[in-house]
């Protein structure tokens, strides 16, 4: 399991689902104040910061960046959370990155990076149909609790299970049987995925998430 850092937005998203996954402590990063619990005002402030950063792009690039929503290298990082996203062309396709530190990895990934971007776009389009709170909860977990390389939303609307009173999301119906066969392990993995998105740091040492899975 690769550990990645999320921006403030995901830290705040955890506050929205604190009742389901327990209280969360958020680490400060790059001037962000430490926060815990449901802070709607701070979440809206973070969204405004992202919107401002994206507004510095051309109209066409804004469209692509909003459709992608997340960096394909640091996949918990919202585009715009670290300033104006960087655009690189890979395999003839526009790819947006959260920061300069991701450029080398994105280019080395080549076709794999482009496929990740496509999956992120599919996920973004699907999750945009969910209510705000539900979307933030899904994006906080990011990956399926069973097929840990599959972005939630990239295979259609995520499925929600309740295990010990806590919400767990799956990428598709094919993962339900495995999740129910080992509920404790499934819940632990979901919480691990959420924790991965809240850890401080911008670690490029290892990127373990792939392009998806097949049943």
Spatial contact of 170 and 138, defined as CB atoms under 8 Å apart: no
Query: What share of the chain in percent tops pLDDT 90?
Result: 66
Domain count, the chain: 1
pLDDT in tens, 156-168: 999 999 999 999 9
Name the pLDDT band for 43 (thresholds 50, 70, 90): confident
The strand ranges marked E within the chain are: 86-90, 93-97, 159-163, 166-170
For residue 68, pLDDT beyond 90: yes
Tell me what pLDDT residue 87 has: 97
pLDDT in tens, 9-19: 333 333 333 33
DSSP state for residue 3 in the 8-state scheme: -
pLDDT in tens, 160-198: 999 999 999 999 999 999 999 999 999 999 999 999 887
Query: What share of the chain in percent tops pLDDT 70?
Result: 74
- Does 206 reside within a domain? no
Task: Write out the residue range of the structural domain in which residue 37 sits.
Answer: 8-196
- Mean of the per-residue pLDDT values of the chain: 80
**Dihedral through CA 169, CA 172, CA 173, CA 177, nearest 10?**
-60
């Amino acid at each position: 399991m690769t550990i990645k850092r999320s921006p403030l937005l995901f830290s705040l998203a955890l506050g929205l689902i604190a009742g389901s996954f327990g209280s969360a402590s958020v680490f400060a990063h790059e001037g962000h104040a430490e926060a815990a619990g449901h802070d709607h005002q701070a979440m809206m402030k973070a969204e405004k910061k992202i919107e401002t950063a994206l507004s510095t792009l051309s109209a066409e690039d804004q469209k692509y960046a909003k459709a992608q929503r997340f960096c394909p290298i640091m996949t918990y990082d919202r585009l715009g959370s670290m300033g104006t996203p960087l655009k690189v062309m890979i395999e003839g396709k526009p790819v947006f990155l959260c920061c300069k530190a991701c450029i080398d990895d994105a280019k080395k990934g080549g076709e794999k990076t482009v496929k990740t971007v496509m999956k992120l776009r599919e996920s973004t389009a699907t999750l945009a149909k969910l209510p705000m709170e539900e979307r933030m909860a899904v994006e906080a977990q990011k990956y399926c609790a069973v097929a840990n390389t599959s972005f939630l939303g990239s295979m259609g609307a995520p499925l929600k299970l309740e295990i010990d009173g806590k919400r767990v999301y799956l990428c598709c119906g094919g993962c339900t049987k495995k999740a129910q066969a080992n509920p404790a392990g499934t819940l632990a993995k979901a919480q691990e995925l959420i924790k991965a998105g809240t850890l401080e740091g911008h670690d490029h040492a290892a990127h373990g998430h792939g392009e998806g899975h097949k049943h």
